[in-house]
Amino acid sequence: MEIVLAIMIGILYAAGIYMILRRSLVKLILGIIILGNGANLLIFLLGRITKGSPPIIPGDLKIFEAAYADPIPQALILTAIVISFGLQSFAIILIKRAYKVVKTDDLDEMNAIDQDS
Amino acid sequence: MTQQLVLYPLLLQLFLSIILMFSWKRISWQRVISILGGILNLGVSIWLFAYIWENGTQTVQAGNWEAPFGITFVADTLAVTLVLLTSISGVAVSAFSASSIIPARLKFGYFPIFHFLLLGLIGAFLTGDIFNLYVWFEIIIISSFVLITLGGEKAQLEGAVKYFTLNILASMIFLTAIAVLYGLTGSLNMADLSIKVAAIENRGLVEITAILFLVAFGIKAAVFPLYFWLPASYHTPPSAVSAIFGGLLTKVGVYALIRVFTLIFVGDVFMQDTILVMAILTLISGGLGALIQTNLRKVFSYLIICHIGYMIIGLGMYTEVAIAGTIFYLIHDIVVKTNLFMVGGLIYRIKGTNNIKSLGGLYAEYPRLSLLFAIPLFSLVGIPPLSGFWPKLSLLTAGFNDQSWWAIGAILFASLITLVIIAKVWSNVVWKDKVELPKRLNFRYFENLNKTRKIQLVAPIVFLSIISLYIGFGAEHVQQLSTRVAGELMDNQQYIDAVFKTGQNLKP
């Protein structure tokens, strides 16, 4: 299970970075989204995967007796997902505005700011 | 009353943003609330600073969950110094924005977002939890995205796309680094991490994590190979926005680097050498970049990069004297860079252009303002006894102690280049004969503004110049502060004790 996840995270990171390096704005956003998903899965994987033992102490015990799933990575992922969702929606509006104003989605042509003003 | 004192600046900023959101369309209220709130926040920050100065590091455990289980807020001397500087810059930029940002922009929530940005900055300085630091960084970047795009001009949007992409990439790398660090140690509390990372046997993995942190914060701080987003975007938004960005946003990256590499990844010679090399190249490339620019604000943008090198170089040398120099430079730089962009904004307001070649004759028209501009400009170069001189002295001393000749060479070279650039700016903008410019329609020139607006534009520059002068002439006090911070940073046991001891005291 871990090895499959590890390979998948690798693919997501690679695909994300590849998409960010493309010139199109839409692919840039897709790249950021994919990269974000890769990072979330990485937190999930590195928090150690424990199957079928939720972190709930049975009523008659004071402490955990067996290994239990760590709830913190899931809380972290939830936070990261919410944040990246906000950022992505901002990004989509931004590229829509940029496309309307600059009239191109090619990053190489967005170079007006590099000229002297 | 004082137990939660650490959180007051944070809560005040949050409260201010919420109040400002309720007066969304009432711009004149927003101006007053923002400035008064900024002054109040300055008062609270001075109180916090004085309290920490007297009583040492204080911590607050969120929800009384003892460390390392809950989120800790730690106010050590470095954190409160930066909170104080944030408040100083914040109130100055509030007043400057009230007059320089056009009402159309203010109507779309400039002030609430501005205070959210300050909230994020203060939070990032005070938190003692690495994931919480990530969250504060996200608050900072989302506020900065809004501020940089507010107005939606073509140049702004182009700059924003680059700014957005690189900053979000930095956040992803930061998140990856946190994931790996959590996998290695199972902890997120920075004091706890400090203990646990030191005990890890697999040093290779620790080094890779450290490099991930270095790249993530390096992009935020704009160090050598990672700074290209900065000159592409910082000159596009209104100058009040550039002022707060230039003064504080890159510095929060520097702060994070200082915190992580003095607390968590300590004593790694390879990392220190890497930081040193990056710093030297930052100093040289930033300086050379500024030399060829003709847009005033782009010159200042490259100078930000150049001077980030001074802060990182002390971290690379990693001795107490060097760190003291770094901290002193950080204090000096936040004030001066904020002021510099406001000066740039005021020159733009007077002349209607940013191009150095078409500017000129400022001394003939506004002699007193020109003398005022001399203070931040020459503080930046560090002509003794102005404020930029003293930290360089510490850094050079540290360089001689270490015998790192490359570092000394880079420091002197960057100083020289800065001097050349400032001399060029000064002679072109202030001394050169006036160049006749076509009058721009619908442009609010400085001379046509009413008296209140003029005062709102000039007063913040005067205020920050006085602080710059204090840093220069009262260097003894600032040096004392920097040495104390450096002592605390080098001996991180103090930080760890402060975090865990409070945890025991709060036990029911």
The domains of chain B are located at: 5-505
Question: In terms of Cα–Cα distance, which of B341, B376, B351 is closest to B429?
Answer: B351
| DSSP states of B318-377 | -SHHHHHHHHHHHHHHHHHHHHHHHHHHHHHHHHS--BTTT---HHHH-HHHHHHHHHHH
Which of chain B's residues have a Cβ under 8 Å away from the Cβ of A79?
131, 135
Q: How far is B359 from chain A (nearest CA, A)?
A: 12
8 Å CB contact of B160 and A94 = yes
Q: How far is A53 from chain B (nearest CA, A)?
A: 18
Q: How far is B331 from chain A (nearest CA, A)?
A: 31
The whole-number pLDDT of residue A98 equals 87
Domain span at residue A38?
Answer: 2-50+69-105
8 Å CB contact of B158 and A110 = yes
The whole-number pLDDT of residue B505 equals 47
Which of chain A's residues have a Cβ under 8 Å away from the Cβ of B354?
117
Per-residue pLDDT averaged across B309-326, rounded?
91
User: pLDDT per residue over B159-190, tens digit each?
Assistant: 888 899 999 999 999 999 999 999 999 889 99
The whole-number pLDDT of residue A116 equals 52
8 Å CB contact of B165 and A72 = no
Q: A45, A46, A107: best mutation site toward chain B, by most B Cβ within 10 Å?
A: A46
User: pLDDT per residue over B456-465, tens digit each?
Assistant: 889 999 999 9
| HEC sequence for B118-134 | HHHHHHHHHECEHHHHH
Interface of B with A (CB under 8 A): 131, 135, 138, 141-142, 145-146, 149, 152-155, 157-162, 164-165, 168-169, 172, 175-176, 178-180, 182-183, 186, 188, 232-233, 235-236, 294-295, 354-355
Domain count, chain A: 1
Q: How far is A32 from chain B (nearest CA, A)?
A: 7
Per-residue pLDDT averaged across A11-22, rounded?
93
User: pLDDT per residue over B414-425, tens digit each?
Assistant: 999 999 999 999
CB contact at 8 A, B200 and B185:
yes
Q: Quick one: pLDDT band at residue B1, thresholds 50, 70, 90?
A: low
| Among the partner residues B131, B138, B152, nearest to A101 by beta-carbon distance | B152
Which of A:68-107 have CB within 8 Å of B? 70, 72-73, 76, 79-80, 83, 86-87, 90-91, 94-95, 97-98, 101-102, 107
User: pLDDT per residue over B187-245, tens digit each?
Assistant: 899 999 998 998 888 888 899 999 999 999 999 999 988 888 898 888 888 889 999 99
Which of chain B's residues have a Cβ under 8 Å away from the Cβ of A98?
157-158, 160-161
Is the overall model pTM greater than 0.80, yes or no? yes
Q: Quick one: pLDDT band at residue B15, thresholds 50, 70, 90?
A: very high
Q: Is A19 on the interface with B (CB under 8 A)?
A: no
CB contact at 8 A, B94 and B38:
yes
Q: How far is B392 from chain A (nearest CA, A)?
A: 32
Question: In terms of Cα–Cα distance, which of A34, A88, A115 is closest to B158?
Answer: A115
Task: Tell me: ipTM over 0.90.
Answer: yes
**pLDDT(A106) > 50:** yes
Q: How far is B243 from chain A (nearest CA, A)?
A: 19
| Secondary structure (3-state) at B196 | helix
**pLDDT(B276) > 80:** yes
The whole-number pLDDT of residue B506 equals 43
**pLDDT(A101) > 70:** yes
CATH of the domain at A25: 1.10.287.3510
**pLDDT(B507) > 70:** no
Q: Percent helix, strand and coil across chain A, each rounded to 5?
A: 70, 0, 30
Query: Distance between alpha carbon B272 and the CA centroid of its chain, in Å?
Result: 22
Point out which residues pair with B75 in neighbouring strands: B58
CB contact at 8 A, B339 and B425:
no
8 Å CB contact of B180 and A42 = yes
Query: Distance between alpha carbon B42 and the CA centroid of its chain, in Å?
Result: 16
Tokens of A12: 């997501």
Tokens of B206: 């620790």
Per-residue pLDDT averaged across A34-39, rounded?
93
Closest chain A residue to the Cα of B151, Cα to Cα: A97
| Among the partner residues B160, B172, B179, nearest to A46 by beta-carbon distance | B179
Whole-number Å distance between alpha carbons of B117 and B397: 36
Average pLDDT of every residue of chain B: 89
The whole-number pLDDT of residue B493 equals 85
The more confidently predicted of residues B104 and B334 is B334
One-letter amino acid for residue B63 of the chain: G
